[in-house]
Amino acid sequence: MPLLELRDVSKAFGGLQVTDHLTFHVDEGEIVSLIGPNGAGKTTVFNLITGIFHVDSGEIVFEGEKVSGLAPHKITDRGIARTFQTLRLFLNMTVLENVMAAEYGHTKATVLEAMLQLPRSRREEKRIRQLAEEKLAFFGQRLAGYRHDQQAYSLSYANRRRLEIARAMATNARLLLLDEPAAGMNPHETHEITELIGKLRDEAGYSILVIEHDMHVVEGISDRVVALDHGVKIAEGSFDQVATNEKVVEAYLGLHTAATK
């Protein structure tokens, strides 16, 4: 049984069909890349999966249960977490708080318990602080101890991307949706991110769906590639199959380019 399954999902904004009868799946322990030219509807697919947009028709199934139609925070609680293409960190909170904020879903203490510092609240705080530190430790030196109490805005761009991934991990997700994790990074950092995504799967056991424009990254990490254009799936398969697919080349380069090349 696939971990995540999109069945015939459609979404339109007014007359613009941004997702058109889209069907694909992500298996447990798999890294799937979603590629396509700008405006192909890749980020919309992420917004549909995480519940920010509602599907017009079709359904999204996670671990055998339908998640389309649920509120975003409930979908996150089920085990899907994402990062954003344009970073959306809580800039004026500390690095550790950013990660701990994402652990809201698996804590239960009420505001009254926190006010009076009752045992459950203190116990939970201790637990999630430890958990957050573990998640940050995954990034080694980059988000090491002395950084924990610094405001998120003081981080460099690459570290902000790392912190977003750490934050997504902290929701106890099983599936991570990474929206252009290598965007705006220098070649060295891109290389590091590529390795990190591999590590996320191999060591931390996440299944990953990733949107990426950098074909070196896509080639390096993907078990499978899904190509979109105008909301329609135009190809699916291994990187080599998709990269040489006529429709994909056409979507990226235009109709007659492939022939004249």
Partner 1 sequence: MSSLGGGPPLDEGDLPVAIPEPVDPADVARSGVGTDEWVARVDERRAAQTGISGLIARTWERTPAFGRLVILLGPFAIFPFITNEGNLYRYGLITIIYALLAMGLNVVVGFAGLLDLGYVAFFGFGAYLYGIMASGHSGHHLQAEIAIPIVVVSTALLGLLLGLTSWRLLGDYLAIVTLFFLQAFVIFVNNANGGLNDFSYPFVGKVDLTGGANGLDQIDPFNFFGFHITTTRGYYFYTLIALALLMVMLYFVNGSRTGRAWRALREDPLAAEVMSTPVNRLKLLAFMFGAGVAGFSGTIFGAVQSGAFPGDYDVGLLITIYAIVILGGLGSIGGVVVGALVVNGAPELLRSSSNARFLFYGVLLVALFAALKPWYKAVIVLVGTIAFGFAVHGIASAVWSRGTAGHISGAGNFGKALEHWVLLPTNPSSIAGWSYFALICAALVLTLVSGWWRVAVLIPTFYLAAFVWENKLVEQVAGATRLILLGALLVVIMNVRPSGIFGTSRVEIV
| Contact positions vs partner 1 (CB under 8 A) | 50, 52, 71-73, 76-77, 81-82, 84, 88-93, 97, 100-107, 109-111, 114-117, 121, 124-125, 128, 140-142, 144, 146-147, 150-151, 153-156, 158-159, 167-168, 171, 186-188, 191-192, 195
Q: Which residue has 């980020």 as its token pair?
A: 43
Residue 17 neighbours by CB distance under 10 Å: 16
Q: How far is the CB of 170 from partner 1 (least distance, A)?
A: 8
User: Based on CB atoms, which residue is closest to partner 1, 4 or 168?
Assistant: 168
14 near 3, Cβ under 8 Å?
no
Residue 112 neighbours by CB distance under 10 Å: 9
Q: How far is the CB of 86 from partner 1 (least distance, A)?
A: 11
User: Based on CB atoms, which residue is closest to partner 1, 44 or 121?
Assistant: 121
Q: How far is the CB of 97 from partner 1 (least distance, A)?
A: 6
CA distances in angstroms from 253 to 40, 148, 155, 240, listed in the order given: 14, 45, 37, 17
- Residue 38, phi-psi category: left (phi > 0), alpha (psi -120 to 50), beta (remainder): beta
Residue 16 neighbours by CB distance under 10 Å: 10
Q: How far is the CB of 139 from partner 1 (least distance, A)?
A: 10
Q: How far is the CB of 77 from partner 1 (least distance, A)?
A: 6
- Residue 58, phi-psi category: left (phi > 0), alpha (psi -120 to 50), beta (remainder): left
Q: How far is the CB of 168 from partner 1 (least distance, A)?
A: 8
User: Based on CB atoms, which residue is closest to partner 1, 10 or 172?
Assistant: 172
List the one residue out of 184, 176, 137 whose CA is nearest residue 160: 184
User: Based on CB atoms, which residue is closest to partner 1, 103 or 229?
Assistant: 103
User: Based on CB atoms, which residue is closest to partner 1, 3 or 89?
Assistant: 89
64: its two tokens: 């055998």
User: Based on CB atoms, which residue is closest to partner 1, 118 or 253?
Assistant: 118
